[in-house]
Amino acid sequence: MSRPVTLFTIQWGDLPLEEICRLGKQMGYEGLELSAAHLDMKKAAEDPAYVQCVKDTLKKYDLNCWAISNHLAGQCVVDTLPDAYDRRLDGFVPAEYHGKPDEIQKWAIQEMKYTARAAKAMGVGVVTFFMGSPIWKFWYSFPQTSEEMVEAGYRKVKELWSPIMDEFDACGVKLALEVHPKEIAFDYWSTKKLLDVFEWRPTLGINFDPSHLIWQGLDPQMFILDFAERIYHVHVKDAKLNLNGRNGILGSHITFGDQRRGWNFVSPGHGDIDFDNIIRALNQIGYDGPLSIEWEDSGMERVFGGTEACEFTKKINFNPRWRSTIT
Structural domains of the chain ordered from first start: 5-316 (3.20.20.150)
Please tell me the predicted confidence (pLDDT) of residue 321: 81
- C-alpha span between 87 and 80 (Å, rounded): 9
Using only the alpha carbons of the chain, give its radius of gyration. Answer: 20
Contacts of 187 (CB under 8 A, 6+ apart): 179, 213, 216, 218
Hey, what amino acid is at 4? P
Flag whether the pTM goes above 0.85.
Answer: yes
**pLDDT on residue 1:** 55
Rounded to whole angstroms, the Cα distance separating 153 from 194 reads: 11
Q: What pLDDT, on the 0 to 100 scale, is given for residue 2?
A: 81
User: Do 168 and 128 touch, CB atoms closer than 8 A?
Assistant: no
Q: Convert the pLDDT of each residue in 26-47 to its tens digit.
A: 999 999 999 999 999 999 999 9
Q: Give which of 113, 123, 105, 205 is closest to 167, Cα–Cα.
A: 113
Q: Which residues contact 324 (CB under 8 A, 6 or more apart)?
A: none
Question: What letter would DSSP give residue 64?
Answer: B
The sign one gets for the Cα dihedral 179, 290, 110, 205 is: negative
Sequence-ordered list of residues with C-beta below 8 angstroms from that of 186, at least 6 positions apart, any chain = 133, 136, 139, 179, 180, 212
30 three-class SS:
coil
- Burial, 208: exposed, middle or buried (Cβ in 10 Å; 0-12, 13-18, 19+)? buried
Asked if the peptide bond before residue 82 counts as cis, ω within 30 degrees of 0, the response is: no
Block means of pLDDT (10 residues each) for the chain, 327 residues, are 92 98 98 98 98 98 98 97 91 96 97 98 98 96 96 98 98 98 98 98 98 97 98 98 97 96 98 98 97 97 98 96 53
